[in-house]
Amino acid sequence: MDPMRRHPVGLARAADQLWFGPAGVVTRAALRSAAGIITPVWCIGCAEQDEVLCELCAEDLHLLTRAPFAAEQQALALPLLMTCETITVLRVSAAGRYEGLLARAVLAFKDHGAIGLGAALGPGLARALRLAAARAVEGSDPASTGSRPWLLVSPPSSLRSQLTRGFDPVQKLLSHALASGSPPDHDEPRLLPAPGLLRQTRAASLRSLNPAQGRQKTRGARARRRRTVGSLELTPRGHQMLPGAEVLLVDDVLTSGSTLAELYRVLDAAGASIRGAAVFAAAPGPGAESEFPLVRASPEA
Ligand SMILES: [Zn+2]
């Protein structure tokens, strides 16, 4: 078995310690010079050469993700939750807006999986997860949080993504997030990564191999939704673990919400209780300039 899958948190923590610890200075310098010899590297923020993310841009990234916010108003395809009296939309908490430096960082991380970027993005997702959990238990009886951990479920990466990237970006980001966050307080739920509960249906996997169909972010919302519905199914492990489980959904980017809607549909049908969702970045909706209550912390590099 792949050791990454068994100990995602432990490995990420070890990687972070190596990266940020005393040995990290030497390691980073060595990696940088090695990478620089093979191929020149530019900062994704300011295009300075030699580092994938320079210290100033890392600080900007931190500032842009330090205040997580409610992002569900922008995503029109999110599932509606109906009780006898109310209709609400699935609550999604985001660390930052999917634009500028954040968008470049997410894309560079997904395409290259750069270890430094994972460590820089992780804390933002950790803050979004914490807000998502806090909003989920808000106003409810502390006892209802229960002692069982909440499962963190993300969309399985497509066959195309596995073939081209060789790793699952969201799971990797999640392991960085959990390694960077402080342990939960006594009244906060424990969060447990639960990969491997869902998979793409065979038809969706094959579809993802067609490069013209793989660009989710560039498709219209309606086409995206049509393509996403029915694209996921439970694995045997999912059948075993999901009935009755408390779940938080996790994804890297929120656009229309159709991916989270499909996750919700499958998990709800499996008998899981979905308490909310956390994403690293939320794409502003059409004409949404003033909708997010986010203070721009620093001018965009
Ligand atoms: Zn920079």
pLDDT digit string, tens, across residues 56-65 = 999 999 999 9
State pLDDT tens for residues 26-51: 666 666 555 555 566 789 899 887 78
CA of 100 relative to ligand 1 center, distance in Å? 13
CA of 109 relative to ligand 1 center, distance in Å? 15
Distance CA 132, CA 121 (A): 17
CA of 64 relative to ligand 1 center, distance in Å? 14
Q: How many residues does the chain have?
A: 301
CA of 56 relative to ligand 1 center, distance in Å? 6
CA of 104 relative to ligand 1 center, distance in Å? 12
Q: What are phi and psi of 277, to 5 degrees?
A: -145, 150
Which pLDDT does position 300 carry in this prediction?
A: 38
All residues at 6 or more sequence positions from 101 whose CB lies less than 8 Å from its CB, including other chains? 44, 45, 57, 60, 61, 64, 300, 301
CA of 116 relative to ligand 1 center, distance in Å? 13
CA of 159 relative to ligand 1 center, distance in Å? 33
Distance CA 75, CA 77 (A): 6
CA of 53 relative to ligand 1 center, distance in Å? 5
CA of 294 relative to ligand 1 center, distance in Å? 22
Helical packing angle, 115-137 and 169-180, nearest 10°: 70
CA of 19 relative to ligand 1 center, distance in Å? 18
Say yes or no to pLDDT of 297 above 50: no
Cα-based torsion angle of the residue sequence 171, 172, 176, 178 in order, rounded to the nearest 10 degrees: 20
All residues at 6 or more sequence positions from 201 whose CB lies less than 8 Å from its CB, including other chains? 230, 231, 232, 233
Lowest model confidence (mean pLDDT) among 192-201, 272-281, 292-301:
292-301
CA of 295 relative to ligand 1 center, distance in Å? 21
CA of 61 relative to ligand 1 center, distance in Å? 10
Identify which has the larger pLDDT, 6 or 174.
174
The two three-digit tokens of residue 84, written as one number = 């006898």
CA of 99 relative to ligand 1 center, distance in Å? 16
CA of 16 relative to ligand 1 center, distance in Å? 20
For all residues of the chain together, what is the average pLDDT? 81
Q: What is the largest CA-CA distance in the chain?
A: 64
Nearest to 74 by CA among 299, 297, 298, 294: 294
CA of 177 relative to ligand 1 center, distance in Å? 22
CA of 160 relative to ligand 1 center, distance in Å? 31
What residues does 127 pair with on adjacent strands?
none
Judge residue 299's burial from the number of C-beta atoms within 10 Å of its C-beta, 0-12 exposed, 13-18 middle, 19 or more buried: exposed
Which pLDDT does position 42 carry in this prediction?
A: 85
- Residue 298 identity (one-letter amino acid): S
Say yes or no to pLDDT of 117 above 80: yes
Domain boundaries, the chain: 3-282
Q: Using 50, 70 and 90 to split pLDDT, how confident is the model at 298?
A: very low
Which pLDDT does position 294 carry in this prediction?
A: 46
CA of 54 relative to ligand 1 center, distance in Å? 4
The fraction of the chain above a pLDDT of 70, given in percent, is 72
Q: Using 50, 70 and 90 to split pLDDT, how confident is the model at 4?
A: very low
CA of 270 relative to ligand 1 center, distance in Å? 45
E-strand ranges in 56-207 read 69-70, 80-82, 87-89, 92-97, 150-153, 191-193, 198-200
Q: Residue 171's CB: how many other CB atoms inside 10 A? A: 20
Instruction: Give this prediction's pTM.
Output: 0.77
State pLDDT tens for residues 245-284: 999 999 999 999 999 999 999 999 999 999 999 999 999 8
Q: What are phi and psi of 146, to 5 degrees?
A: 75, 170
Which pLDDT does position 21 carry in this prediction?
A: 67
CA of 51 relative to ligand 1 center, distance in Å? 8
